[in-house]
Amino acid sequence: MAKSFGIDERKIKGILSVGTAFTYKNTPYTVLESGKPTCYKGEPKTDIYLKASCENGVEEFKISYKKENADFIENKMNSERAQLLFGDNWKKIIESSTLKIKSAFLNKPLIYKKKSGRTDKGAFTLGWKFELLNKSNGNFSDIITLSREQVIDVYAGTNLPDDKKNAFVNGNIIENSGIANCVLFHDNISSAEDIFSNLYTIEEYVDKYPKVYFACKALNYRSAKGKWDGDRPLSVFVDWFVNDGKLDCNLVFDKPLVTKGNAVAENLISVLKKLGIKTDEDVNVTNITDYGIVFE
């Protein structure tokens, strides 16, 4: 997917080379500059930057390109990014989102004595990451409640840090080049006409597709290998502890993206060590408070 996406980006840049003529909303343009905005760390929202002249002057097309089968809007959400996207009320927005699907969390096994879907045997759940999508994604997904302006900010990157807003294009910093102002959502692009007949302004795109979804994806401790997939911020985490000589836990909803995977994993490992539990094989009805959280 990522490799194909990069190929398509380069293809679009090649189609929109300097001197190329195109028509957008019945206005003829000529390309003056095109390039891919970059920054020192991470990526801006704009995938293809285009400066073009028309009879009324010069316009910028700052294109966010999405493959038709793409679903991620934000897949590495942390507290800093959440505040930029949602404002100072970001914690409440995420907490209210996860509480909408609280029953899904409460009914989910947390220890796996056999494989279930993509969850390996031996997994102990640490918590759930938080992602933004343009479509629903199963039981751990729902619509996130945002204003139209917030949805526009999500797609455009209006509140990104300055290094991502003022990105490099062809070696030069161009002010606000990293803030997207239009969306291209199309596959099989072979001409400028394919691009501009499928190009929406951010506002047009949001009005047509106003819903943004969130999804919570599990981060698991793989007990057989003693590993987990990194120090990811968790929207909901599992607080593992010893209760009357047995393994017990609570789900914590009110500290979104503050607690991370490493801290939860290290606490779990410490708790398991106290109880003499090394892997899922050591968990049984005598050393766990609620055997209902075990999948077997």
Same domain, 34 and 154: yes
Which residues of the chain fall short of a pLDDT of 50?
Answer: 1-5
pLDDT tens, position by position, 59-73: 999 999 987 666 778
Same domain, 184 and 278: no
Same domain, 110 and 31: no
Selection from 59, 34, 64, 67 nearest residue 49 by Cα: 34
CA–CA dist 78, 131 (Å, integer): 10
pLDDT confidence of residue 3: 40
For 173, other C-beta atoms within 10 Å of its C-beta total: 14
Burial 32-67 (b: 16+ CB within 10 A, else e): ebbbbbbbeeeebbbbbbbbbeeeeeeebbbbbbbe
Contact 50, 22 (CB under 8 A): no
pLDDT confidence of residue 2: 40
State residue 282 phi and psi, 5-degree precision.
-85, -5
pLDDT tens, position by position, 109-140: 999 999 999 999 999 999 999 999 988 888 89
Same domain, 138 and 270: yes
Same domain, 185 and 231: no
Same domain, 112 and 233: yes
Cα distances from 69 to residues 66, 198, 274, in angstroms, run 8, 15, 47
Domain C-terminal end among 186, 208, 230: 208
Domain that holds residue 131: 74-143+213-295
Same domain, 101 and 230: yes
Task: For the chain, list the strands marked E by DSSP.
Answer: 21-24, 27-35, 48-54, 57-66, 72-74, 111-112, 123-133, 141-143, 168-169, 172-173, 182-185, 199-201, 213-222, 236-243, 246-252, 294-295
Structural tokens at position 179 = 């803030």
Same domain, 291 and 152: no
Number of domains within the chain: 2
Same domain, 191 and 176: yes
Same domain, 86 and 222: yes
Same domain, 100 and 192: no
What distance separates the 2 farthest-apart alpha carbons in the chain? 79
pLDDT confidence of residue 70: 63
Beta bridge partners of 64: 183
Same domain, 151 and 287: no
